[in-house]
C-alpha cells in the first residue's frame, strides 16, 4: 500500500503556481470570495483559501453577507464583480441558504471568472473537452494527484460514488475524457444504486464522494485498487479540543491493506482543492490579460 500524500502534491502545485505568479508582469491575480451566513465549515474553508492566496502573492478579498440577503442583492453584487476589470476570479462558497438558488447564483458568475467551474458554461466546456474551461477544484485536485503520482488510468475502470455537481459528476467526466490520465471506463453510483458493493468492487480506481462518514468498507474494495477518499465529515470526538474530528467516507484502517494506493483524511484530497483553486485563479488572470 502506498499513501497518496495530498499535502505534498498540493505543496508542489502551489510552488509551481507561486513561481508563475512571481514572474507575472503587472498587477497580481485577484480573487473575491463571497460567503453568505456563518456556516463554520465555510468560514474555515474560506480562511484557508485566503491564507494560501496571500502566501502565493495572489490578492484576495472576502465579501461577507448576512444569511438573509435577497437573491436580487446577491446577483447584483456578482454582476458588479463581473464588470470589475480588477477582479480576475469570483468564488461563491457553498452551501448557500435554502432561499437562494445555488444554480442561479453559480450561473451568474461570468464564465471567465468562474474559478469553481460550477456554472453551466464551464460544465459544458468540460463535457465538450474544451481545455479553456475551469474545472471544479476538488475533481481537478483528484485528477492532479493521479497524474502527478503517475497512476495509470487509460482503459481502467473508475467508479465514482456520489453524483454531486461539486465533485462526483465532474470527477467522472475528467477521467472519461480523451487524453493522458484519462480514457477510463467510468461508472457513477449513488444512493439509489442497487448492490453498491458489487459495483465498487469492480473499480480499479474508486472515488468515494458520498459525504457519509466511513461509508466505504473493505467489502466495497477489490484487492489492488486505488481509493480516493473525498469525504470530510465531522464526527463528535470529546477527546479533541474542538469536540470533533474529521474523517473520510472510507474506513481507512480497514481498507488500506487492500489498496495499491489510498488517500488519507485529512491530508489527501482536501489540500488539493485549495491548490487547484490557486491554479485556476492564475489561469483566470492570464485569460483576462490576454484578451
Cβ neighbours around 224 below 10 Å, total: 11
5 classed as catalytic: no
CA 5 to chain centre: 16
Nearer to ligand GUN, 34 or 199 (CB): 34
Contact between 281 and ligand GUN by CB under 6 A: the answer reads: no
Choosing from 59, 88, 93, 169, which is the catalytic residue? 93
Contact between 116 and ligand GUN by CB under 6 A: the answer reads: yes
Contact between 173 and ligand GUN by CB under 6 A: the answer reads: no
Contact between 280 and ligand GUN by CB under 6 A: the answer reads: no
93 classed as catalytic: yes
Cβ neighbours around 105 below 10 Å, total: 20
Contact between 273 and ligand GUN by CB under 6 A: the answer reads: yes
Residue where the block lists cell 481545455: 131
Contact between 166 and ligand GUN by CB under 6 A: the answer reads: yes
Choosing from 88, 116, 229, 249, which is the catalytic residue? 116
Contact between 229 and ligand GUN by CB under 6 A: the answer reads: no
Sign of CA dihedral 151, 154, 159, 162: positive
128 classed as catalytic: no
Q: In this structure, are residues 274 and 268 in contact, taking their beta carbons and an 8 Å threshold?
A: no
Could you give the CA distance from residue 258 to residue 225 in angstroms, rounded to a whole number?
Answer: 7
Nearer to ligand GUN, 93 or 281 (CB): 93
**Contacts of residue 231, Cβ cutoff 8 Å, sequence gap at least 6:** 208, 209, 210, 211, 212, 213, 215, 247, 248, 249, 250, 265
Residue closest to ligand GUN, measured at CB: 94
Residues that bind ligand GUN (CB under 6 A): 91-94, 116, 137-138, 166, 273
Amino acid at each position: 500500500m502506498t499513501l497518496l500524500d495530498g499535502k505534498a502534491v498540493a505543496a508542489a502545485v502551489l510552488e509551481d503556481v507561486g513561481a508563475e505568479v512571481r514572474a507575472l508582469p503587472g498587477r497580481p491575480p485577484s480573487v473575491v470570495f463571497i460567503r453568505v451566513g456563518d456556516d463554520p465549515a465555510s468560514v474555515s474553508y474560506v480562511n484557508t483559501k485566503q491564507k494560501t492566496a496571500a502566501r502565493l502573492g495572489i490578492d484576495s478579498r472576502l465579501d461577507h453577507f448576512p444569511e438573509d440577503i435577497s437573491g436580487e442583492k446577491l446577483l447584483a453584487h456578482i454582476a458588479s464583480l463581473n464588470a470589475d476589470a480588477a477582479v480576475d476570479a469570483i468564488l461563491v462558497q457553498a452551501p448557500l441558504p435554502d432561499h437562494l438558488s445555488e444554480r442561479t447564483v453559480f450561473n451568474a458568475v461570468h464564465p471567465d471568472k468562474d474559478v469553481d467551474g460550477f456554472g453551466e458554461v464551464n460544465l459544458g466546456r468540460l463535457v465538450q473537452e474544451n481545455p479553456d474551461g475551469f474545472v471544479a477544484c476538488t475533481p481537478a485536485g483528484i485528477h492532479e494527484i493521479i497524474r502527478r503520482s503517475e497512476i495509470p488510468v487509460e482503459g481502467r475502470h473508475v467508479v465514482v460514488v456520489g453524483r454531486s455537481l461539486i465533485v462526483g459528476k465532474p470527477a467522472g467526466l475528467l477521467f472519461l475524457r480523451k487524453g493522458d490520465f484519462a480514457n477510463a471506463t467510468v461508472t457513477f453510483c449513488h444512493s439509489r444504486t442497487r448492490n453498491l458493493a458489487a459495483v465498487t468492487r469492480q473499480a480499479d480506481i474508486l472515488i468515494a464522494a458520498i459525504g457519509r462518514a466511513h461509508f466505504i468498507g473493505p467489502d466495497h474494495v477489490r484487492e489492488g485498487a486505488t481509493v480516493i477518499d473525498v469525504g470530510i465529515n465531522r464526527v463528535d470526538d470529546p477527546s479533541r479540543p474542538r469536540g470533533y474530528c474529521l474523517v473520510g467516507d472510507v474506513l481507512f484502517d480497514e481498507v488500506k491493506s487492500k489498496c495499491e494506493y489510498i488517500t488519507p483524511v485529512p491530508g489527501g484530497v482536501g489540500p488539493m482543492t485549495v491548490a487547484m483553486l490557486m491554479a485556476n485563479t492564475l489561469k483566470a488572470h492570464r485569460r483576462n490579460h490576454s484578451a
